[in-house]
Amino acid sequence: MKPNYSFYIFLVYVSFFSTLVPAITGFFRIKYLGAREKALFYLILVSLVSESVIFILRELNIRNLYVARIYDVMEFTLISLFYIRLFDKSKITLYMKILVFVFIGIAILDFYYNGISSMDDIFLTTESILFMIYSLFAFFHLLQNPVYDNVLAAPLFWFNTAILTYFSGNLFLFVFSNYLENHFAKVSPALWGIHSLLNIVFYFLISTGFWKTATQRT
């Protein structure tokens, strides 16, 4: 029996439209967004544009993987910027800044040697592990510097939860992405359905973070 992937494909569409939620929330909360939060707002805008391009190219049956790869580099830069601004008084930001340039350099070299139309599983896996570490540090920072009476009122909690959930959940997918794409292409919609589900959760949590930026500090 041929597997039915219509539900996963449906998730891909929901994921695409869910990008609008944080974009709209961020737009309404723009005056409350600090430099740190703006990095994530720009990420959402970049995500909205790239998802739209991917969506259109998919409908036109044109390969769109290179758009995702350009997006991955921008995503890495903007999320790194978010954490650099969070830890701005710490010496660790110097290493974070160096890592941004190293990653961009590796991505450009990879485009040059391996072409732009294949999955860069090493880049995505390393990025995921790195952001998982950053987000754990951020939770530690949040507990060490309790600005809010309730942690659920802190936008940082929601942004960090979004990043940790997205990159942890997708880690296995990213590790095996190239392998699966090459050897099990037919199960790809189902696996990217999981990715879409995590995307929806990510956008929902980021929207909550944007919404909470208007919360008064105690």
Partner 1 sequence: MENGNPTDIILLIAAGCMGMLILVVSIILFVVYYQKKVLAQKNNFQRQLLSATVDVQEKERERIAKNVHDDLGMKLSVIRQGFQKIMRNTESKELITRVAGENIRVIDDSIEIVRNVAKELFPPGLVKLGFTKSLAELCKQITNAGQLTVSFMQGNSEIKLPEKTGLQLYRVTQELLNNIIKHSAATEVRVDLQRNETHTSLTITHNGKGISSVEINKLMNEEKGTGLKSLQSRAQLINAAINYETGNSEQKPFIEVHIGHEEKNH
Q: Which of 65, 129, 151, 200 binds partner 1 (CB under 8 A)?
A: 151
> Does residue 203 belong to the site contacting partner 1 (CB under 8 A)?
no
The dihedrals phi and psi of 11, each to the nearest 5 degrees, come to -60, -40
The residue written with tokens 């959930």 in the block is: 165
3-state class of 4 per DSSP? coil
**For residues 215 and 154, what is the distance between their CA atoms, to the nearest angstrom?**
8
Is 107 or 209 the residue whose CB approaches partner 1 more closely?
209
In angstroms, what is the minimal distance from the CB of 171 to partner 1? 6
At closest approach, how far in Å is the CB of 152 from partner 1?
A: 7
If one asks whether residue 217 binds partner 1 (CB under 8 A), the answer comes out as no
Interacting residue with partner 1 among 32, 66, 87, 139 (CB under 8 A): 139
DSSP character at residue 213: T
Q: DSSP string spanning 70-128?
A: HHHHHHHHHHHHHHHHHTTTSTHHHHHHHHHHHHHHHHHHHHHHH-SSS--HHHHHHHH
Residue 200 in the binding site for partner 1 (CB under 8 A): no
Interface residues with partner 1 (CB under 8 A) are: 3, 136, 139, 142-143, 146, 149-152, 157, 161, 164-165, 168-173, 176, 180, 183-184, 186-187, 190-191, 194, 198
